[in-house]
Amino acid sequence: MSPAQIGFAILVLGAFLIVGKLVRVKVKWVQRLFLPSSIIAGALLLLLGPQVLGKLAGGSLAESGIFTPQILEVWGALPGLLISVVFATMFLGQDLPRFSRAVKLVGPQLSLGVALGSGQYVVGLLLAILVLVPFFSATPMVGALIEVGFEGGHGTAAGMRETFQSLGFDSGADLAVGLATVGIVGGIVIGIGLINWGARTGRTEFLSGQVSASVEEQRGLFRRDEYYPAATMTSRPASVEPLALHVAICAVAILVGWAILEALRWIESATYGSTEIRDGVTLEIFGSVPLFPLALLGGVIVQAAAKALRVDHLIDHQMMLRIQGLALDFLIVSAIATLSITAIGENLATFLLLAVAGIAFTVAVFYFFAPKVIGRFWFERAIGDFGQSMGVTATGLILMRITDPEAKSPAFEAFGYKQLVFEPFFGGGLVTAMAVPIIFFVGPWPLLIGMGILFLVATVGGLLAFGPTARREHRERAAELQRTPA
């Protein structure tokens, strides 16, 4: 494959991303669903590719639709590369919070986040063990797909394609990407519904009645009188372009993560990695772990080193977010464009059961558990975790912005603190990356027991540790409302 073919494949993605944005701006029902332009663009490419147009038209279009096999090959490889960029930038440029305030805010928030993350494994693994494996001949690895697709999102799902393939679960990535699509759409649609319910029933503190977004928000545009700086210039362009500097820092973070992963693989191969488990299968868990969770760790190490050297002011987190957003948009477009509808169709019952179970569990945790561990502003704080656990972090931020448009509550602050502890493990972190290899090598039960214990610690421990404070704050809030004149 020539460099020109690779470049042209990326140009096509960019052109369709513009088309996706135009659809978002012009089509009302797309606006009401708050569908990201990247999902729209990916869906259009999927329709024009071999999975839809190719199957319907046949003939010369059967192999790759209106595209070429080389273009599809490039698109198929992009998610696995771009996901490392997404994770490497997460903590670059971030300041650590004051310890006392972080502990106060992060406790209940982390309890909710861990309950959602570990619980998605518990639900998925129980469903796999009790229903999907015995009745639908599915592999036990499907038990990890709810967390990979919902909590991890498109990036994690597509980024783990090589892991799934190396373990003989070729349809795993397609099912996970499909679940991620269901999750992000469901997260927005159900999230907006929950916000309207919360506003009508007095559970939100800043909204009342029917909630609706502005025309600009629905179209995904800023008003002409609005100004949001994209980033801060931390170096003079005559020396080095600030964007180029931040891309280079991101590259160093990924290289640090790669070095750590290679070291872990070497240690594993030199110790227990040659241990045979069954039928010639050796215990090489890190051999199946993708790069991106270690890229996140590389980003933390680079940020810590910059802090120690007193050059951390050169790393602007907003600039890193722009790089992250660029990578994530192109990742989502390419992941959906290369999605195998055939793989989902062949495992449709499994896919639907996982999707329904994942949605039902996530809504149940939000409704029953969140208000019992979070006191004041519980709805504003919990809706962000609901959105993230259904799709991506951006979904949670959108829902929080609708619920608390002026950021008067500590929701955004608490959510950010929780991410510092949560992201290295769930939603594409080490637990997500290692879950599927663990199921493959030692079966589903050890992971189920481990996640079950973690779920109980998060829920029961959260109720005991934060429940009394939450109940007191709810009583104070109720008394405050009674004293307020109608």
- pLDDT, tens digit, for every residue of 88-142? 888 898 776 555 555 666 889 999 999 999 999 999 999 999 999 999 999 999 9
* pLDDT the model gives residue 297: 86
* pLDDT the model gives residue 220: 73
* Three-state SS at 276: strand
* pLDDT the model gives residue 279: 59
* pLDDT the model gives residue 281: 59
Q: How high is the mean pLDDT in each 10-residue block of the chain (486 residues)? A: 89 95 89 81 91 84 87 88 85 70 76 95 97 94 94 83 88 90 86 88 76 67 74 90 95 95 87 66 70 85 93 92 88 85 88 95 96 92 91 74 78 76 80 90 94 96 93 87 66
Distance CA 209, CA 147 (A): 33
* pLDDT the model gives residue 52: 87
Distance CA 130, CA 137 (A): 11
Q: Where are the alpha helices (H) located in 212-316, listed in sequence order? A: 215-219, 242-270, 292-308
Tally of CB atoms within 10 A around 393: 20
Q: What is the pTM of this model?
A: 0.80
* pLDDT the model gives residue 201: 87
Tally of CB atoms within 10 A around 328: 23
Exposure string (b/e) for 203-237, b if CB count within 10 Å is 16 or more?
A: bbbebeeebebeeebbbeeeeeeeeeeebeebeee
* pLDDT the model gives residue 184: 81
* pLDDT the model gives residue 56: 85
